[in-house]
Amino acid sequence: MFDIGFSELMVIAVIALVVIGPERLPRVARTLGHLAGRLQRYVADVKADINREIELDELRKMRDSMQQAASGFESSVRSGLAAAESEVNKVTADAEQALKETRPPLEETRPALEEPRPVHGQEEAKPSANALEK
């Protein structure tokens, strides 16, 4: 930034010695050193604040991109879930319709109450002649 060489510093020191005087020169140099240190600390703090703001801005951008990715993922999962649910509902409806078409009505499957059905392996019971006579 400043291009000051050793010879230029010597010229400044001689002029300061003549203008300020030998008694006050050490105190002035000490004060200038403290001021220069404060200035350096202030500049370092400003740089650190700027770097923090830049990092914070980058983190905000990253957070926003993550939120967009998460919402996109959520919407794709929801749409996939809705498609799967509609497919399951369609298959269930088709299966119920197929069952209705292949199964006879309940009235056709129920035996008539007037006609007794013989038990498998046994003949129908006929009233015997002896039972009628008694």
Q: What is the pTM of this model?
A: 0.45
Tally of CB atoms within 10 A around 59: 10
Domain ranges in the chain? 6-100
Determine which helix (DSSP H) or strand (DSSP E) holds 21, and give its type and residue range: none
DSSP H helical ranges for the chain: 6-20, 25-102, 106-109, 129-133
Contacts of 28 (CB under 8 A, 6+ apart): 16, 20
pLDDT at 131 over 90: no
For residue 2, the model assigns a pLDDT of: 67
Note the pLDDT tens digit of each residue in 14-51. Answer: 898 888 888 898 899 899 999 999 999 999 999 999 99
